[in-house]
Amino acid sequence: MTNTATLVLASNSPRRRQLLALGNWKFDVIVSDVDETQLTGETPKDYVLRLAQAKALAVAGKANPEAIIIGSDTAVIDGDEIIGKPKDEADAERMLKQLRGKTHQVYTGVAIYRMSDGKTLTELCVTDVPMRPYSDHEVQAYIQTGDPLDKAGAYAIQHPDFQPVESMRGCYASVMGLPMCHVVRTLQKLDVPPRADVPTACQRLLNYECPVSGAILSGASNG
């Protein structure tokens, strides 16, 4: 990576900023604004990959000509249904009750766009998320914090009090919005190696012993 090249994160998410910082790269944040409406017949995979690419391209006109732009989109999937952000508290309650006590999937698409030659690489991470059987009272208490209202599926996996997830065997960072091992292996294809031990830093930050990082970094897994 040359001295003039700069990573750009096309997201306003503080969680994504926190995760990308684990690589110890210098990066800028340029907020993207794209229509997130699902297209007719669009699969969850196609949906998150399309939006990730759209977010990266949306900020290209504001970025350094040598920039490498990272776009990401995360969706909560229950069966074939894409569950977005709740419209209001009642919608958040509906979503949380729909998801409790069963396993859903989180799809995160990543698109990395190199301005200098227009090359775009994409990654998809799919993680099973088993939710615990939390009570109606816990749902109401969590909604009163305001935290669910800007979250896909109306929850944050890392919320210290609610802690909605029972257990996991996949990429925790992906559920937070940015699967860092996927980002690392994609940036390496563009000759941008990490400047830190990302798997170790990620597990320390999330207090999570990740069972999939090695397989992802070796290219043997997408989960």
List for the chain the helix, strand, coil content (%; round to 5). Answer: 40, 20, 40
Could you confirm whether 191 is annotated as catalytic? no
* 37 vs 88: CA distance, rounded Å: 18
- Residue 217 buriedness (CB in 10 A; 0-12 / 13-18 / 19+): middle
Query: Kind of pairing, strands 27-29 and 7-9?
Result: parallel
* 178 vs 23: CA distance, rounded Å: 12
Burial 127-144 (b: 16+ CB within 10 A, else e): bebebeebeeebbeebbe
* 43 vs 211: CA distance, rounded Å: 27
Instruction: At 220, give phi and psi (nearest 5°).
Output: -90, -10
* 22 vs 184: CA distance, rounded Å: 10
Which entry of 73, 91, 136, 147 is annotated as an active-site residue? 73
Instruction: At 27, give phi and psi (nearest 5°).
Output: -150, 155
* 59 vs 56: CA distance, rounded Å: 6
Active centre residues (catalytic): 73
